[in-house]
Amino acid sequence: MRRWWHAAIAACLSLAAPAPARTQDCSAEAIGGLTADAPVTITSASTEKLASGDPYCLVALRVGANVNILVGLPSPTRWNGDIQAEGKGGYGGVLVPPIRSVARGFVGVASDTGHPALARNPDEAPADDWRNVVGGFAMTAPGKANKGLQEDFAYRSAHLMALIAKQVATAFYGRAADHAFWNGCSTEGDRGLRAAARHPEDYDGILAGDPAIGFAETMAYQIWPQVVMRQRVGGPIAAAKLDLATARAVASCDKIDGLADGLITDPRRCRYRAASDRDIVRASCGANDGACLSPMEARAIDEIWRGPVAADGKLLWRGVEPGAPLGMLAGPKPFPYALLQPRFFVFLDPQWDWRTLTIESFPVFFAKSVAAVNPVMGANNDLARFFARGGRIILFHGFNDAGILPHQSIDYYERVARRQKMTLGELQAHARLYLFPGVGHCGGGAAPQPPVDLMSDALVKWVEKGIPPEGLVAVQEDAVARRSRPICAYPALAYYKGSGDPDAAASFECRK
């Protein structure tokens, strides 16, 4: 009897004792068994260290033959319970560990977007070496599109990143992640928005900066400045002249917002035209005189700002905003990405020469670009399913972005509202757009900067606690100035109240 009693007590104590802590096994064997739309191979799994010295598990995988993915898993005590996908801009192809996300407590995931990184500039590689040129992945051979790799780049790799990262996290931690987020700028901002529409179950929050939402239109416009300069003045306009026109535009439109601070709060309200500026336009102005513009140079700059138009005068695509630097697209050579899309996505001809374009033929070129590229890269503004499951979006764009132009984020946001039959105020309950005066592509410029980490934190809080972003502040701390501005949800922008420190956010208010 006594032995039975002791055995019963021991059994009870054994049941009451806590289970031994689960040991996270950073090995291919422990994390295996992953599934996707193609076979999944774990190529390596190893324990690495962050700059802080904290360890994390890095798992390298390949889905099918093309899509390579890295998943970084922080130690269990540092994991915040969420996943964050990191994107790379341009045409992708770069595969680097998602260290930034891991350091912030996320399971980080990155991919090569389904093709290897190729670094040769299109103007520096011979035509028969097109496979080694950035963007060359889009063709299998001249005249033949590689639709599979185009789809990998456009949306499939983003879907696989979420699918794989969720499985790896569950295998490693013994439980599913709470939420998944996307954090990307430039073409990676675009891929995040496309993911929300195509696979609304993949991500719960999208942070998209300066996205190439109108991908076909964006890349087609990028050659427009070169076409205009070649036809109007015979070639590139000197950099000093471009800078002069930009400075004159800022000086003319700076005070529209009530404060002379070197920033145009809303460039869409700027009506400056270089051709009408009698102080700098002179018929005798030489090509190398940076203190003036010839009439044709001024006309060319105005056409670059305006954007290309159809034969009936309809604007095809709004141009670089006044105040933004012109040198990126109107420099001495075409911007490389302006050549890649027509060569590898549109005409499928690595020898295609942009010099065949004219101002008059540009509308046809523009239409061909849209027809060829949008079926794969086009943005879908139907976010009903994403919003219905609680998905949230923070979209931001620099007004001085001279490569991926800010008007397309504004147009996209307004089209989403119309598609969902919402007012802009109602849309703010699901998605917010922030515009940053004076800020370049994904940051930069002498202006208060987008606080990406703070916006990421606000997005997590919005998704997980239902608290919308409020009180965010952009800060500039450089040799030019020390100033801050409140971040306002579109259609509002930050305007000076008329009194107070013009360098302090508290002296500004958000208004339409």
What are the DSSP E strand ranges found in 167-243? 179-185, 205-209
12-32 in b/e form (b: 16+ CB < 10 A) is eeeeeeeeeeeebebebeebe
For residue 400, give both structure tokens. Answer: 């001085």
- Hey, which residues does 486 pair with through a beta bridge? 473
| Integer angstrom CA distances of residue 413 from 13, 107, 261, 406 | 60, 29, 28, 11
Residues in the chain: 512
3-state secondary structure of 83: strand
**Starting from the edge strand earliest in sequence, which strands make up the sheet with 40-49, in order?**
40-49, 55-63, 67-74, 107-111, 82-86, 179-185, 205-209, 392-398, 431-436
Are 99 and 139 contacting, i.e. CB atoms less than 8 angstroms apart?
Answer: no
* Residue type for position 127: A
Token digits for 164? 């794989």
Q: Are strands 205-209 and 179-185 parallel, antiparallel or unpaired?
A: parallel
Please give the sequence-ordered ranges of beta strands (E in DSSP) within 272-367, or none if there are none.
none
pTM of the model: 0.92
DSSP character at residue 214:
S
Per-residue pLDDT tens digits for 3-17? 333 333 333 333 333
Domain ranges of the chain: 28-217+377-475+483-493, 219-373
pLDDT tens track for 314-368: 999 999 999 999 999 999 999 999 999 999 999 999 999 999 999 999 999 999 9
Domain 28-217+377-475+483-493: homologous superfamily in CATH: Alpha/Beta hydrolase fold, catalytic domain (3.40.50.1820)
Distance CA 397, CA 462 (A): 20
Q: What is the largest CA-CA distance in the chain?
A: 116
Amino acid at position 59, single letter: V
With beta carbons less than 8 A apart as the criterion, state whether 109 and 98 touch: yes
CA pair distance 371, 404, nearest whole angstrom: 19
- Tens-digit pLDDT profile for the chain (512 aa)? 333 333 333 333 333 333 333 458 999 999 989 999 999 999 999 999 999 999 999 999 999 999 999 999 999 999 999 999 998 788 888 899 999 999 999 999 999 999 986 655 555 555 567 777 888 999 999 999 999 999 999 999 999 999 999 999 999 999 999 999 999 999 999 999 999 999 999 999 999 999 999 999 999 999 999 999 999 999 999 999 999 999 999 999 999 999 999 999 999 999 999 999 999 999 999 999 999 999 999 999 999 999 999 999 999 999 999 999 999 999 999 999 999 999 999 999 999 999 999 999 999 999 999 999 999 998 888 999 999 999 999 999 999 999 999 999 999 999 999 999 999 999 999 999 999 999 999 999 999 999 999 999 999 999 999 999 999 999 998 877 899 999 999 999 999 999 999 999 999 999 99
